[in-house]
Structures are given as structure tokens and as C-alpha cells.
Structure 1
């Protein structure tokens, strides 16, 4: 009596092997994520940050002769929307809600004070100074306290970000935030505060030098 031969093993299709390998990779990935949250293992599987930046280069030196007499903190909410004329916003368009925080300094340029702007009497007990009006410096955006609240983008814009070197750029809303902060500083009375503080500083300085009468004025 002869023993029947066993049927040949069935070959597994190639697509089954590919799917199995993909599932195995996902399982290992999720296992690694779960292990990463365990004490002691997170440091082993976590990422590290390496700062490979080069040294900062000094490009120029400028002598400063201005007195920064006041500073204002500002915050603005920017709602910037860009859309296409003949396409719906769901297809083409962006809308960003951005909170911008920044500071603006007000200063008096003491370097523009000439000999004719300073008058001292013979016994050096009285002095008169004429200074230029206070001016506003450039707004400085505070990156630590500025952030995007929401971003809405059309389908074409999201696809374009995939091929862009700088996706989700916030340059436009940041520039607009700086512009609004500069406008707000003009109406804040910051320059008047700077002139008052400069007057107090000069009066205290000259009084400590023996002057009894000090008069400070502003104008060209």
C-alpha cells in the first residue's frame, strides 16, 4: 500500500506579502511610540536637537547717541484673508487669524543737539537746552508671544505647500501686525511720554552738577 503524496504548499501572492510587511512595520512603529512613553525608554527612542549653526558675524558698528526714554507694549489681532476672484475659498484661498505682540521705543536723538541749542549763564547756575522732538523706533515683534490662532487654506493652497520651500509662511501676517503696531504707537502718546522722561533725566543730571535752574524745550 502506497502512502499518498502531500499536496504541494500553496504559494502566497506577492500583494499579500507586501500588505503583511506594511502591517508589521506599522505594528513596530506603534510599539515604539508606546515604549517611548515609558520611563527610561523615552530617552533611548526620543529625538535629540543639535544646533549646528555657524558663529554670528559682525557686519557693522554704529555709534548710538539717542536716549531711549519710553517703551510701549502692544498687541493686535490680524485677520488676513486672500481669495481668488473666480474660485471658491474651499478650492483656492487662505485666511489666517494671528495675534501679534510687540514693543515700540520712543527716543530723543541727543546727537543732533548743537552748541547753539545749549545755553549756560556766566556763573553756571542756569542752563537752557533745546532738543529735537522725540521719535518712534521700529516696532519689534515678540516671537514668544505672537502666534497663529487659526489657519484656513483651500485645497490648491494645501497642495502647493507640499512643493513649497516655506510652507505655512506667516510673513504676510507678521508684516501686517508690525504695521498695525506702528500705527497704534503713533496714537499712544508715547513720544510725549519720552520727552517728559528725557526732561526729568536732564533736570536731575544738571541739578546734581550744581545747576539751580534748568529749562528743557523741544523743537527744530
Structure 2
């Protein structure tokens, strides 16, 4: 009697293979698939996918500036809380600064690991360094025997030390990093630590190259020429008609 009646029973049966749940309907005529419903994605899979997406965006170099309105929303405010500057010492200077040279150098510094690829560990920085080097004559080294004046004070002969170069001074307003390339491990390290001296190596190289360029230039010769012109003009204003200046070690 039960077989003659048209009745149906519906249940859920989980089948392995493609990870799906199939709803089956049983009737007097047999069993046939009716509807397939996908299984729900586990929560941990969604969490891992979200973390992977964040890492991809981070290492791709996405900046807040490319997102409209985000930069203004999370803007920063600077406050100067520095204390007053204290005078530590005063030095008397006897140098005549006779010339100053402006220099610019492009530093390309690359650091690689011995057994790791550059994409994993390594840095490369392209830095433009601009600075000045002064040339001076130390008049404090001039003694009495280095100055000869005739009796009527119309002729003077001066022997001065050769001009010297000062230390190169890097100008922070005109120096900047053009590009920075870092490996994956270096980027991860920057996330968990601060590196205030990140550009110290390229800055030192820029100062070194600027100093070498100053030595190869005619800066000291210009300084001696300017010092000679200054002394001749000063002594002639005091009544000297013949002023001769020479330079020695």
C-alpha cells in the first residue's frame, strides 16, 4: 500500500569529491538529484585570505596619497618641543675665507647579501647630495719674519701659507633620496624597528665624493688669488704703493 502511494522523503547527504552538499529526493520511482548547494567557506580560510591581501598591498608600495581623502583624514601635525640651544664654546678665528665652491654628486649605493637574492635581502639607494667646500688662508700663521716693510712704508712683501680646504658641508635642503629599493626581509624589518640613520651611509659617501671633487678643483688657487687682492687693496688704502704677496708651505 505504501508502494502505491506517491510519497517523497528529502534529506541532506554530504558527498566527498568536490566538497559540495547534494540534496536528493526519493520517490516511488527512484532517487534523483534535485539541487546542489555549495558548502560554506571556513572562517580560517577567510582570515588567511585577508592577511595575504594586506601583505600584497603593503609590499606593492601602496601609499595613502593614492587613496582619495585618506591623506587628509589621517593628516599629521608637527610640534617643536625642543629646548633652547646652549653655547658650549667660542673659538677665535684667524682664517680668511677667500672662496667657496658648490658641488653636487649622485650616489648609487647597493648592498647585497652573499647567499640571498636581491629580491629577498638587499638594498639600493640613489641619492643626490649637494654641499659646499670653503677654501681659506690661515693668517694666524703669519709671523714677523713673513712681513717685510721698507723704511718709508711704501713697499711691503708678505709671505703667506698656502690656502687650504675646509670640511665639506652637506646641504639638507638641496640633498634628497631619488629612490630606495629594498628586499622582502628588509621591508619586514622596517615594520618592527625604526632606522633613523637609514641615509647615513649615502650621506657619508656624498661628503667624501664632494671633498675629493674640491681637491681636484681650482678652489685653493682661487682662494689665494682673492686673498692677494684683498691684502693689496687694504695696504694700498694705508699708503703702500708696492705690495707683493707670495705663498709657501
Q: TM-score, normalised by structure 1?
A: 0.79
Is 1:133–2:162 an aligned residue pair?
yes
Could you tell me which residue of structure 2 aligns to residue 187 of structure 1?
216
1:36 deviates by 8.8
Per-residue Cα deviation, 1:49-108 (whole angstroms, up to 9, x for no partner): 211001111111111100000000000000000001111011111000000000000000
Structure with bigger helix share is 1
**Equivalent position of 2:172 in the other structure:** 143
Q: Distance in 2 between matches of 1:170 and 1:56?
A: 25
In structure 2, stretches of 5+ residues that fail to align are: 1-42, 44-67
Q: State the alpha-carbon separation in 2 of the partners of residues 35 and 170 from structure 1.
A: 28
- The whole-number CA distance in structure 1 between the counterparts of 2:158 and 2:176 is 45
Give 2:147's match in structure 1, choosing from 103, 118, 128.
118
Separation (CA, whole Å) in 1 of partners of 2:180 and 2:70: 33
Question: Would you say how many aligned residue pairs link Structure 1 and Structure 2?
Answer: 184
Q: Which runs of 5+ in 1 are unaligned?
A: 1-14, 16-32
What is residue 70 of structure 1 aligned with on the other side? Answer: 99
Q: 1:85 maps to which residue?
A: 114
* Structure of higher RCO (CA pairs closer than 8 Å, 6+ residues apart): 1
3-state SS in 1 of match to 2:93: coil
CA distance in 1, matches of 2:70, 2:126: 37
Preserved contact between residue 131 and residue 219 of structure 1 (Cα < 8 Å): yes
Displacement of 1:48 in angstroms is 3.1
The RMSD of aligned alpha carbons is 2.1
* Aligned: 1:172 with 2:201: yes
Q: CA deviation at 1:167?
A: 5.3
Give the aligned partner of residue 21 of structure 1. none
Among 193, 213, 219, which residue is 2:242 paired with? 213
Is the contact between residue 108 and residue 135 of structure 1 (CA under 8 Å) also seen in structure 2? yes
Partner SS for 2:173: helix
Structure 1 range deviating more: 153-162 or 179-188: 153-162
TM-fit CA distance, 1:142: 0.7
Instruction: Give the match for residue 183 of structure 2.
Output: 154
Note the C-alpha offset of 1:133: 0.3
Which protein is bigger by CA-based radius of gyration?
Answer: 2
* Segment drifting more, 56-65 vs 194-203: 56-65
Counterparts of 2:204 and 2:180, CA distance in 1: 17
CA–CA distance in structure 2, aligned partners of residues 36 and 104 of structure 1:
40
TM norm structure 2: 0.70
1:200 to 225, 229, 234: 229
SS of residue in 1 equivalent to 2:77: coil
